[in-house]
Amino acid sequence: MSASAAESKWQSLIAERVVALGFASLPEFVTSRPRASLLALTTTLIGPAPNPQDANVSLSALQGMLLGQALDRGSVEHTSRDLLVRMLHQRLDGWPWLADRVGMQRVAGCLFGWAAGIGARLPDYRRPAITLALALLENPLPAGWMPQDADDPLLVAMFLHHWVEPSVA
């Protein structure tokens, strides 16, 4: 089975499970769990993946569905904030002290993993995601800070100042 066929299979399964769980849409389901990682969301929807390859494909399918629907609804910025919050909660316990080099390396890995995921699905948004990731690394944030959801005031302010919507050609 090709990668796109496998991802299509997971997308269909995810869509079916969202409805079976009583949600009208995938964004409604995701919003009901604001800090759950994509892995936790996928596991809730379809159970644990039988192997690491299926886990990666199911995570990719979920992220692709969320970003595709966000593009259709004109809410890429909000969905990008949401995905960033989820990744931060999955990988960090809070924002490290600026002098904590190991902690800041973990943050950098998290931010650029997030930016790569956005850019892989929505190439026009690669630059805004990278710009935002760099801004988060370059602007000292309070030690211990962790956004609780996509509408965290500090996160919204960072996006307001550093996220530039791509031009429509």
- pLDDT tens figures, 17-34: 999 999 999 999 999 998
Chain segment 108-131, per-residue pLDDT in tens: 999 999 999 999 999 999 999 999
C-alpha 93/C-alpha 106 separation (Å) is 11
56: number of Cβ within 10 Å: 14
C-alpha 158/C-alpha 100 separation (Å) is 21
Q: Per-residue pLDDT for 169 more than 60? A: no
Q: Per-residue pLDDT for 2 more than 70? A: no
Chain segment 52-110, per-residue pLDDT in tens: 777 788 888 899 999 999 999 999 999 999 999 999 999 999 999 888 899 999 999 99
- Residue spans per domain, the chain: 1-74, 76-169
pTM of the complete model: 0.90
In this predicted structure, what is the pLDDT of residue 55?
Answer: 75
C-alpha 92/C-alpha 18 separation (Å) is 28
Torsion of CA 65, 30, 26, 110, to 10 degrees: 0
56 half-sphere exposure, CB direction, 13 A CA radius: 6
